[in-house]
Amino acid sequence: MAQIRRMDCQIEVKSSADKFFDAFKTKAHLMPKMSSQLVSDIKLLEGDWTSVGSVRLWYYSANNKCWGDGKVKVKPIGIARFEVGVKLDSLNTFETAKELRESVDEENRTIVYKLLEGEIGNSYKNWRSILSVTPMGEGSLVKWTFEYEKLNDDVPEPVKYCDFHTTWSKDVDAYLLNS
């Protein structure tokens, strides 16, 4: 029987918990602007931008050579749309993720996303990403939890996705503080 694994990553941000949570709850369509070096595009495929059950297609850079130590080192690539698996250069490889917004708990500031398709599915199955935002002092604590099964024992732990979500959270925080 396959084993469901969990990986957590946390980051402290300066934005309030409500403001940060709202960015992911209602402003997904702005993510390419909030984190332009990591998220190149997002398309709404079903539903609307805020509803449970909506389906979105993300285009993003998950190449940990770009930002693996938590410091953004992605080279600016200009405004463009990238298709599945197009390799731009040795640092920027874009992936896609078709996701379903599975649940939103406003009281606990938690959103659960379920992967439907994408490169993550080449290594992992039954992937869920869970965002939880908790007030902490003047800012907040952002926690990303990944629940997944490896397709086989040779698949590495999904550390690059933890690094990606940490950097993405920093970008969103910076955008919110400057807007």
Per-residue pLDDT tens digits for 59-84: 999 874 444 444 333 333 333 333 33
pLDDT(6) > 70: yes
Q: How far, in Å, CA of 136 to CA of 70, rounded? A: 21
Q: How far, in Å, CA of 84 to CA of 31, rounded? A: 18
State the total domains in the chain. 1
- Pair of tokens at residue 126: 């039954």
Structural domain harbouring 122? 5-178
CATH number at residue 25: 3.30.530.20
Q: How far is CA 104 from CA 32, 74, 110, 129, 131, in A?
A: 22, 31, 6, 12, 10
Confidence (pLDDT) at 125? 87
With beta carbons less than 8 A apart as the criterion, state whether 20 and 140 touch.
yes
By the 10 Å C-beta count (0-12 exposed, 13-18 middle, 19+ buried), 15 is classed as: buried
Confidence (pLDDT) at 90? 41
pLDDT digits (tens, 9 = 90+) for 136-163: 999 999 999 999 999 999 999 999 999 9
**What's the length of the chain?**
179
Confidence (pLDDT) at 92? 55
Q: Which residue has the higher pLDDT, 71 or 98?
A: 98
